[in-house]
Chain A
């Protein structure tokens, strides 16, 4: 990237800059006219020069040009008149001139608007390009560098730090031309009016232009320090968020607080110093600006009195001078911004220019190759050093058939994981050569390495998308169809396309289908789920996804037949629950029955709340709910139950330290609220429930909503209360106002509940508390029903829609590893590198998945790194890595008998 921001801006916005500069030039004559007009108005109509005689008139818009001396002979006059103008009397002439001034102001305004609009567009375009280029560079960072980069810093650079550059891009050339042009025009104008006044004005401008930037230099340096400090702060905050677990594990939150305090203090001092200096400069600036009028009035007035300058000229000079400081000041601002932006630009550019960037040619999307990778994979003296010069790989040399199955093993820290990364061409070796089928691997484009090869490591990252999209991610190399556009808007579409070209962004359309179905061995979107299921079987994750599906929700409008089948499953399950062994384990939802195993609010609403109106936390505040409670006089019950709960909680939790996990797990009242309830309980004992203040009654009434008789066992809900609860339930749904129709979905034995999971829809009830193994036995029963009705496949597909969450955090670590491995094999690579990718799994599962992967890779290359040693006997070859060197290579049988290093490893392992 260009080292200077000016060169960068010029390179990418030359044409627009020239257009705007032309506009600026075009605007200057109008500006001059606007300055000159006050003189004419004052001298002409106001002072009456030329109107001494009664009925005298002057020519409006008379236009003459001076004729150069040598042509005067020819024209016979010193001034050539192009337009004789309209003859006007004094008063109309005044209004005509004033109106003309107004017109000129408008013209200048239009120029300014045009220039600013063009500037803005130019700036935004170039900013877009800059951001894109920076992001492009992130995608080309060498992998080994990426590990050192603090993500938050890079993100903040692309997002925030380039922002001011965007503002400057439009101004870079235009602002000095525009402001400089205006300042020079104004100065010139003053000079024409009075040479001496012009000199004075010029001198003061020069002082401003030279002294103030010098004072501001220090501010800039401080600004740069501030930027660095702020960037480090962002990075540090990112680290803390990332390392939250560590902090809690070691009680270092106070250390972190102190650390951040130090940084904030540093930033405070920097900012304050900047602030102080800024206002010092402002003070100086203002003072200088105020001194000039003094000179103008005194000296200009003196000239006017002496008659060497007329009043019109003085007024015009004053007006022009008034115009002068703002361009000058803005010019100084621009100059400061220039320095500031240049510094920022440089500091960003250096961050985005690490050594060993991947060449753009290697990412050419068109360089894919239909032929599989084959031949010998040969490494000769591969060296890999980290930044500190530490040798991670130290002259590793080996050779094997790229389509064979090879295990790489060795003691921990021997460098095997780096060898894996080098073999997958994710890291380029510092020196040495790696070739496949005689071709230098360093020169293979990513279109080959990323499509014909695959890598699964121990810490593969998942994106916050569905499980399916995470798996398909490995197949999305470039768009393969035309974009599918839903709401067509040709004008906007054309604008977007032209802007993409103008700012050099990616021309690939995200709305196209990017998925390379063929690579996964499927025909298209309709059967890709079969392939997905197959690879999930390889990594033993199909059952997990099915379970995710059971816990997922569907919109019955989109999955009509599944919803219908789920209802059938509900009926089947209900039938099976007639067996008393199972019947004792589930309490089904029955509109006419109180459910002991559901909470009170569930019993009252008898449905799933959607959105905020009826969620338990604020249910008691809902005015409709309150009306129903009052109608059925359940409010008094709730308050009475609330009091019992409050008394129990106060009794049980009074001595428990706030923050104890018991509060979170068991208490109806948080530690902070406990003292308040203590008071309420005391008041209730003194006054009696009826005389409690309304706010206390409200607080008590909210408590029992989470209460479940079976779980909490306080004996609060007797038969009469149950009757009233059922009455509330009936009235609540019968009279539900239209505005709440979308806020709740009621439990209806005959209807699919779209707000509840598939599992809850099948179960349609609550598993009974306190029955050993109830959960697993009912789970098995549901499984049976689902299998009978052949719903497993559909539910599995619902599971594929499960969103993995940021970095896949909504999945378990084991699931993440399995999914990452599945992603790597879905594209059926010619060479698959698996590096410690299932380390979290237990030994038996590792072994099974290993055999599955190995069978799956039959006839294709497989490199298995790390993991259990006893697995390596199934490989064609074993490479033993120690201290970055290959110390042994051969068959397991040979090496384990005759080798030196493998037997040692086996003995140790």
Chain B
């Protein structure tokens, strides 16, 4: 796959839509292409990291270990960005991501990503929208979970 093909894929990612192709090309050029075999981990929960991965092809499982062993919480595929939280804030990874098939990725470093935001403030707004949406989902989940717990008589 050539640089220009990667740019095509990047354009189809929601977060990057509407960004000049030249900027996406810079992002692709300054990012390393990394392939994972089935079963290899892109990142592990609890480890420090400052890179995100854009999945170019294949599928990966997102696993979270809350103390009782890893639990699969999502499955991500082509055009998904994983690990971007670590770019925005220096913190340990909140989940493990493992390749479910052979996975082709673009490894995006913090520097490249921030360069992109600097160039196109639009992406920051887009990023906010995504995060807010995620927060919304999380809040709804939390409310539901609390309701269930209350119904079961476990919580206050």
Chain A residues with CB under 8 Å of chain B are: 648, 651-653, 655-656, 660-662, 665-666, 712-715, 769-773
Contact = CB atoms under 8 A, between A and B. Distances in A.
A831 to B, nearest CB: 41
Interface in B1-52: 1-4, 6, 22, 25-26, 29-30, 32-37, 40, 42
Contacts of A713: 1-3, 6, 33
9 contacts: A651-B22, A652-B22, A661-B111, A665-B30, A712-B3, A713-B6, A715-B3, A772-B34, A772-B36
Contacts of B4: 715
Given A713-B1, A713-B6, A714-B2, A772 B26 contact: no
* Among all A-B residue pairs, the 10 with the closest Cβ atoms: A770-B33, A715-B2, A772-B36, A713-B3, A652-B26, A770-B34, A772-B40, A666-B30, A713-B2, A772-B34
A553 B36 CA distance: 33
A770 B29 CA distance: 13
B119 interface: yes
Contacts of B2: 713-715
Nearest to B119: A655
Contacts of B35: 770-772
Given A651-B22, A651-B25, A713-B2, A662 B30 contact: yes
B37 A769 contact: no
Contacts of B30: 662, 665-666
Nearest to B109: A665
Contacts of B6: 713
A772 B42 CA distance: 8
Contacts of B36: 772
Nearest to B25: A652
A655 B25 CA distance: 13
A585 to B, nearest CB: 10
Nearest to B5: A713
B37 A772 contact: yes
A773 B36 CA distance: 9
B40 A773 contact: yes
Nearest to A773: B40
B50 to A, nearest CB: 14
A648 B4 CA distance: 11
A743 B111 CA distance: 39
B115 interface: yes
Given A652-B22, A715-B2, A662 B34 contact: no
Contacts of A666: 29-30
Contacts of A770: 32-35
A60 B29 CA distance: 99
Interface of B: 1-4, 6, 22, 25-26, 29-30, 32-37, 40, 42, 111, 115, 119
A769 B30 CA distance: 14
Given A652-B22, A713-B6, 4 more contacts: A713-B33, A715-B4, A772-B35, A772-B42
A721 to B, nearest CB: 15
B2, B3, B29, B42: which has the most chain A beta carbons within 10 Å?
B29
A652 B25 CA distance: 7
A714 B33 contact: no
Contacts of A648: 25, 29
Given A652-B25, A662-B115, A714 B40 contact: no
A587 to B, nearest CB: 14
A770 B33 CA distance: 5
A648 B6 CA distance: 15
A482 B99 CA distance: 67
B97 to A, nearest CB: 12
Nearest to A665: B30
A666 B28 CA distance: 11
Contacts of B29: 648, 652, 666, 712
Contacts of A661: 111
B11 to A, nearest CB: 16
Contacts of A651: 22, 25
Nearest to A769: B33
A57 B34 CA distance: 112
A612 B82 CA distance: 45
Nearest to B2: A715
A491 B40 CA distance: 72
B59 to A, nearest CB: 15
A770 B111 CA distance: 19
A124 B2 CA distance: 70
Contacts of A772: 34-37, 40, 42
Contacts of B34: 770-772
Given A769-B33, A770-B34, A714 B119 contact: no
Nearest to B112: A662
Contact of A662 (B33, B40, B111): B111
Nearest to A653: B26
Contacts of B26: 652-653, 656, 662
A651 B29 CA distance: 12
Contacts of A652: 22, 25-26, 29
A704 to B, nearest CB: 15
Nearest to A713: B3
Contacts of A655: 119
A429 B4 CA distance: 72
Contacts of B119: 655
B10 to A, nearest CB: 13
B138 to A, nearest CB: 30
A714 B25 CA distance: 11
A715 B2 CA distance: 6
A648 B25 CA distance: 9
A661 B2 CA distance: 24
A666 B34 CA distance: 17
A367 to B, nearest CB: 54
Contact of B3 (A653, A660, A714, A771): A714
A655, A656, A712: which has the most chain B beta carbons within 10 Å?
A655
A651 B4 CA distance: 13
Nearest to A655: B119
A648 B29 CA distance: 10
Contacts of A771: 34-35
A893 B32 CA distance: 55
A770 B31 CA distance: 11
A542 B35 CA distance: 33
B5 to A, nearest CB: 9
A570 to B, nearest CB: 26
A660 B111 CA distance: 10
B67 to A, nearest CB: 23
Contacts of B3: 712-715
A650 to B, nearest CB: 10
A771 B99 CA distance: 13
A713 B3 CA distance: 5
B29 to A, nearest CB: 6
A656 B23 CA distance: 11
A659 to B, nearest CB: 13
A76 B36 CA distance: 125
A772 B53 CA distance: 12
A652 B30 CA distance: 10
A790 B35 CA distance: 34
A660 B6 CA distance: 24
Contacts of A653: 26
A685 to B, nearest CB: 17
A648 B28 CA distance: 12
Contacts of B42: 772
B19 to A, nearest CB: 13
